[in-house]
Amino acid sequence: MTFNPLEERGIPLDRQVRNWRELDVMPIDPDHADPYTRCRIIAMNGIEVEAILFNHQFARHCTIPEVRRQLAETRYIEAQQQKVVNWLLPGLASVLETTIAYEQVAVDLTAWVARMEPDPYLKQAYEFGVLEDFDHLYRYANLFELIEHRRAERVVDQLTEVMPGRPTMLHHRHPIDNLREPYDKNTTAPLSKLHALTIMSAEQQTMNFYMNVGPEYMEPIARQLYQEIGLIEEEHVTHYESLVDPGETWWEQLVNHEYNECYMYYSFLETESDRRVRSIWELHLNMELEHLRIATELMRRHDGRDPKEVLAPRFPAPVRFEPNKEYLRELIATQIDYTTLGTGYVQEAHERFQRWQEQIHDDERAPSERVIDENRAKAGEEYRLETEGVHPLPSLRRH
């Protein structure tokens, strides 16, 4: 199916406002929902949060009153969309359960993007990052068993494996080594721009989530683990946002944002298993088509350029949540010992990396290590979910 969002008609903006009844969505059932439905909700919430924050930043830099009014109107709709999407999550789920789902999103969404990414340098950036969120999932799963006495397969089902990736304590790098080389907006594939926006948004939402919920816990190990992984999500936002060409104009960025929102709703509409949630993706797609039309008008008028120059003529294949177990095992087997140096990757612990590690760890065991020690001591063994056999690296197998 070919779908060109520039040729579709959406819902007029003045008919997009929702009342309390329409905003009051029924959440999904935490015990019976498809785990990937929850993943789509979390990913889409991240996209909407970025739509709101980007729009605010644009408005703060915009001197044209008529554009500021237009941005405010669209932004209010984005805010209502974010409320509807995020409120699909059930209040019954604990913060830690939702956290595990956030890391499942980071693993399976980033792995999908890495597999589909045509540019080798960008692909490497996703492959590098995914091995870290894969390890976060394992650390939080152990915290879940330790303090809530529940097992992470209740959240991830059998779709995503839970075992060590690149060890979390080694994710703490000098900030300048987290900056990548940006793509070139004039030559990169349109799909690469969409990928970068999507993963940047998902990681930004994860960073925001941990910085807010981390101190809600009483248990010292939980508070400490959220601090540690929260800091790594800051690194991940730096890593992914630096892939985006900083030379894109505000107008161009707005068009890219709205186009990506259309693409993500279209993707989830095509792949959603829950009929009720699917109808929300469909409604929001029809809203976004109009946001996109408005953004392209603004670009034509104020940037003097045709948006067709920067956008894909039709949507790429839909983004799909699906297991990536073999792909991840292959990455673990080949890239686990990578770190970054400048905008590249190396396999040895260079001097600037060592220095940063010494400063942050200061001869103490990191929370991400202690959570495993503590769970092992209490439960007899650490928590893992290895559905495809033993760990690919002998040194990281259970002992």
Considering the complex, state which of residue 91 and residue 261 has its C-beta at the smaller distance from Fe ion: 261
- Single-letter amino acid code for the residue at 308: K
Residue with tokens 């730096």: 238
Q: Are 268 and 40 in contact (CB under 8 A)?
A: yes
3-state secondary structure of 205: helix
Q: Are 39 and 101 in contact (CB under 8 A)?
A: yes
Considering the complex, state which of residue 117 and residue 258 has its C-beta at the smaller distance from Fe ion: 258
d(CA 274, CA 34): 8
Considering the complex, state which of residue 238 and residue 375 has its C-beta at the smaller distance from Fe ion: 238
What's the 3-state SS for 61-106? Answer: CCCCHHHHHHHHHHHHHHHHHHHHHHCCCCCCCCHHHHHHHHHHHH
By CB under 5 A, name the binding residues for Fe ion: 48, 51, 78, 81, 106, 133, 136, 203, 233, 236, 258, 261, 288, 291
CB of 110 to Fe ion, least distance (A): 8
Considering the complex, state which of residue 136 and residue 293 has its C-beta at the smaller distance from Fe ion: 136
CB of 195 to Fe ion, least distance (A): 15
Considering the complex, state which of residue 191 and residue 287 has its C-beta at the smaller distance from Fe ion: 287
CB of 279 to Fe ion, least distance (A): 16
Q: Are 387 and 161 in contact (CB under 8 A)?
A: yes
d(CA 378, CA 359): 30
CB of 184 to Fe ion, least distance (A): 25
Cα 376 from chain centre:
30
Q: Are 173 and 235 in contact (CB under 8 A)?
A: yes
Considering the complex, state which of residue 174 and residue 236 has its C-beta at the smaller distance from Fe ion: 236
CB of 255 to Fe ion, least distance (A): 11
CB of 167 to Fe ion, least distance (A): 13
CB of 124 to Fe ion, least distance (A): 16
Considering the complex, state which of residue 91 and residue 222 has its C-beta at the smaller distance from Fe ion: 222
Residues 219, 220, 226: CA angle, nearest 5 degrees: 95
H or E element: which one contains 225? helix 220-241
Q: What token pair was written down for 119? A: 């540019």
Most distant CA atoms of the chain, gap in Å: 66
Considering the complex, state which of residue 81 and residue 340 has its C-beta at the smaller distance from Fe ion: 81
CB of 204 to Fe ion, least distance (A): 10
Q: Are 39 and 33 in contact (CB under 8 A)?
A: no
What's the 3-state SS for 367-380? Answer: HHHHHHHHHHHHHC
